[in-house]
Amino acid sequence: MANEWWKKSVVYQIYPISFNDTMGNGKGDIPGIIEKLDYLKELGIDVVWLSPIYDSPQADNGYDIRDYQSIYEQYGTMENVERLIEELHSRGMKLVMDLVVNHTSDEHQWFIESRSSKDNDYRDYYIWQDGKENGEPPTNWGSIFSGSSWEYDEQTEQYYLHLFAKKQPDLNWENPKLREDVYNMMKFWLDKGIDGFRMDVINFISKDQEFKDGEIKPGEKFGDPGPYFVNGPRIHEFLQEMNEEVMSKYDIMTVGEMPGASPEDAIEYTNPANHELDMIFTFEHMGLDEKNGDKWNLKPLDLVDLKENFEKWQISLHGVGWNSLYWNNHDQPRIVSRFGDDETYRVKSAKMLATCLHMMQGTPYIYQGEELGMTNIRLDHLEYYRDIETLNMYKEKSDLDWSHDRIMEAIYAKGRDNARTPMQWSNQKNAGFTNGTPWLQVNSNYETINAEAALADEDSIFYYYQHLIQLRKEFDVITTGTFELLMRNDPNVFAYRRVGQDESLIVLCNFSSMEVELDEKVVEAIQEASVLITNENKSSATGTLSPYEGTVFKH
C-alpha cells in the first residue's frame, strides 16, 4: 500500500460556488477555500476534491467547461489555484480536481470550430449525425436533463449529441486527436501539482457507433439511450490508454463517477492489474428510494435492500478492487433528511449514518456540511430553485400530468439544490457565507446548524466525524478486514462484522426511531467486546439499540 495512500485517506468534497465567499458576489471562491483549510485540517481531512472551477458559462454550475486551462473569473485566478495547492500541501493535504471530458460547453473553442463547417479540423471532436428521413433527430434518445439528447444546428444541417443540457455537447472519443488533447490537458494540471482526478460520468465516453433507437419505457416520452453509452464498447481501451499516457506517470488518486456500473464492472475498472482507475462511484444505493429507475418517482427506503446492496459491493471488490464510500455529494440530497431524521434525532441519526458508512472498506467521501448535519431545504417557489435538472424536470413531468404538489414533493426529497445551499459557517447573516446576496437561498436553520456552533460543542457531529477519521488511521481492520452482514432480514437494524488479522469489529446501526431488540447471536458476540465508538451513552453491551443508535464494538 506504499503508493496507495488513498486507501487510508478521507476525502472532503467542496462545491466551490456554495463554500465560502470572500469577494461579496454571493458565490464562493478559491480564496474562500484557502481561508477554511485549517477547519478541514482540524476535521482530519486528507484530500480535498474540488468540483469544477474552470472557465464556464455556468449552465450546469461549471460542469459545462469553456476552457479547461483557465479559471472561472468569479472564483478567482490561476495564481489563487497555485496558492491553494501550496497551502494544502503545506498542511499535508492533497487536491483532487474534477475531470469533465464526456462533454464541454458549446462555448468551448473546440465546439465553436466544430460547428462552423463540416470540413473544419475540429468537426470530429464532437458527435454529429444526420437526422432521420422523416425529419426527426438521429435517434429517439432522451437527455439526462430532459428533452431530446440531440440538437439541430442550422448552419451545417446536422444534429449534435448532448446527453446532458443542449449547452453541453458530447465529445467524440473515437477521435485520437481529441484524446491526445485531453491527455495533454490532464498533464497540465498534474504538472501544477494536483494529486488526482474525480472523473465526471467517465463511463459514458464510449458510444456505440450504430446510434440505434432506445426502448421507450412506460410513461416516458423518449427512448432510453443507456445501453448505447453506459460502459460503452471501447471504455476499457480508452481508460487504459489514459492510464498509460497520463496517470501511470504520477503518484495520484483517480475515482470515476460511473452511473450504471455493477460490481462486476467495478472489478474490471479498479483491479490494479488492468491499469485503469483506483476506484469508482457507484449509484445503486442511491436509487433504492425510487421506482423504475426514475429518481423523482419516490418510494420509502427498504433497509434490507440497502444492506444487501452494500454487502454485494463490499464482498465483490474485497481483495481485487476498491470501493468509494459516500452518502452525499453535489448531486444527492442531504443524507440526514433522506435516510435519517432531520428533526427530533438530527444529531443522533447523522452520527449513526456516519458510523454505518465509515466502518466499511473503501475510501470515504464527506460532502461539505455533512459533518455539521446540514439538511434538505424546502424553497417556497419553483423560481427560487437554480438547478437545471430540477427546472427541466418540472416542465417534463407537468407535460406527463403530474400535479404541482407531487412534483414539488419530489424536488423537496431529491432535488440537487438540497446539497447546494450555502455552507453554514455561523449564525451571522447568510450563515457567514457571504456579505452579498447568496446565489441560492441559505437554509433558514443556519442559526442553530453551523460550523461555529459545532466547533464549540464537544458532542457535535463534527467531532464525531473527526473521531471516525482517526479510527480509520488507527485500525487496519477498517481498511483491510472482511465484511459479513448480520441480522440480514431485520427491517430496522444494519449490523455487520469486520474481521482483520488482529482484531474484529461489530457495527450496529438502528435506522429507526424505535428501540429495537438485537439478535441473540449478536448479543452473545458483543458480550466480551469493548465499545470503540458510539453515539449513545453506553460503555458496554446491551440487548437493545436505542432510536438511531450507532455503536461499534471491538474484539
- Catalytic: 331? no
- What is d(CA 293, CA 283) in angstroms, rounded to the nearest whole number? 11
CA distances (Å), origin 216, targets 142, 219, 288, 397, 421: 9, 8, 22, 16, 35
- Cell 442531504 belongs to 334
**Cell of residue 506, nine digits:** 461489530
Phi then psi for residue 406, to 5 deg, are -65, -40
Cβ neighbours of residue 180 closer than 8 Å, sequence gap 6 or more: none
| Per-residue three-class SS string for 465-518 | HHHHHHHHHHCHHHHHCEEEEECCCCCCEEEEEEECCCCEEEEEEECCCCCEEC
- What is d(CA 354, CA 350) in angstroms, rounded to the nearest whole number? 6
CB 8 within 8 A of CB 479: yes
Q: 351-368: b or e for each residue (b if 16 or more CB lie within 10 Å)?
A: bbbbbbbbbbbbbbbbbb
Quickly list H helices, 27-77: 30-35, 37-43
Options 29, 64, 200, 417, the catalytic residue? 200
Collapsing DSSP states into helix, strand and coil, what is residue 99? strand
Q: What is the distance of C-alpha 238 from the center of its chain? A: 23
**Four-point Cα dihedral 86, 40, 278, 162, nearest 10:** -90
CB 371 within 8 A of CB 351: no
Cβ neighbours of residue 138 closer than 8 Å, sequence gap 6 or more: 129, 130, 131, 132, 150, 159, 211
Please list the residues that pair with 49 across neighbouring strands.
Answer: 13, 96
Options 21, 195, 257, 342, the catalytic residue? 257
- What is d(CA 109, CA 550) in angstroms, rounded to the nearest whole number? 52
- Catalytic: 82? no
CA distances (Å), origin 142, targets 64, 169, 217, 332, 535: 19, 14, 11, 21, 45
What is the side-by-side order of every strand in the sheet holding 493-499? 482-486, 493-499, 504-510, 550-554, 530-534
Element (H, E) at 239: helix 235-245
CA distances (Å), origin 287, targets 101, 355, 493, 514, 538: 25, 21, 20, 25, 34
Cβ neighbours of residue 368 closer than 8 Å, sequence gap 6 or more: 12, 13, 14, 15, 18, 19, 423
Catalytic positions are 200, 257
